[in-house]
């Protein structure tokens, strides 16, 4: 497969450092690339404004719900849903770019790291002491994505 041979060439220096190092580096790299896409392709000020307005409407809807004013509650929920559509449309473009990269890299990772397990320093509930390549990817991608989002001020 064309993409598989290209991935072998691209990631060869990382794999030369060992499977654990390669898997760690690729996991952090993938989450970083996704965050950079969001930073580049999404107007951050618009996202902040939409989120702020959604929060305002949510608070108003909760207030009216407690007051049993269903009409005003529904009006605020409706406005919140409109903003939610806008929020989703703003984030669609970087999501598509990210999905293309994941569609190429994940199958390659599945073949390259098959049978690779990482021994965790502590036992994680519902997971245990070791994880496969995808578990390790997930355990690294989530916190590294949060850190990158904070560093790049991505909404």
Asked if 73 contacts 80 with a C-beta cutoff of 8 angstroms, the reply is: no
pLDDT means per 10 residues, the chain with 155 residues, are 78 89 93 90 88 94 91 92 90 87 90 89 86 91 93 84
Asked if 108 contacts 2 with a C-beta cutoff of 8 angstroms, the reply is: no
Beta strands in the chain (DSSP E): 117-124, 128-132
Q: What is the pTM of this model?
A: 0.76
Residue 127 burial (CB count, 10 A): 12
The domain limits of the chain are 2-152
């Amino acid at each position: 497969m064309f993409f598989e041979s290209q991935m072998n060439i691209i990631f060869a220096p990382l794999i030369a450092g060992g499977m654990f190092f390669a898997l760690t580096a690729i996991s952090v790299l993938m989450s970083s690339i996704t965050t950079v896409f969001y930073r580049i392709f999404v107007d951050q000020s618009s996202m902040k404004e939409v989120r702020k307005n959604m929060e305002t409407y949510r608070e108003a809807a909760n207030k009216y719900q407690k007051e049993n004013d269903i009409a005003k509650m529904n009006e605020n929920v409706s406005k919140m849903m409109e903003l939610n559509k806008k929020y989703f449309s703003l984030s669609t473009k970087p999501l598509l770019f990210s999905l293309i990269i994941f569609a190429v890299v994940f199958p390659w990772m599945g073949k390259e790291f098959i049978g690779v397990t990482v021994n965790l320093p502590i036992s994680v509930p519902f997971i245990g002491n070791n994880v496969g390549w995808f578990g390790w990817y997930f355990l690294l991608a989530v916190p590294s994505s949060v850190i990158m989002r904070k560093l790049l001020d991505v909404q």
